[in-house]
Amino acid sequence: MSPRALSLILEWAQEHQDELMEDWELCQRMQPPKKISPLP
């Protein structure tokens, strides 16, 4: 993976950390995750 791609992924994950944690909890309960918006 290129450094640029990794940087974009980390930026996105930081911006959506709360949503990612909510989705993780849903998945652990065997429920489908909610959609999270992409980087613009």
Cα 12–Cα 15–Cα 21 angle in degrees, nearest 5: 95
Q: What is the pLDDT of residue 23?
A: 98
CA dist 5 and 26 (Å) reads 27
Q: Which residues have C-beta within 8 Å of that of residue 22, sequence separation ≥ 6?
A: 34
This prediction's pTM? 0.81
Specify the amino acid at residue 15: E
Q: pLDDT digit string (tens) for 1-40?
A: 999 999 999 999 999 999 999 999 999 999 999 999 998 8
pLDDT score recorded for residue 40: 82
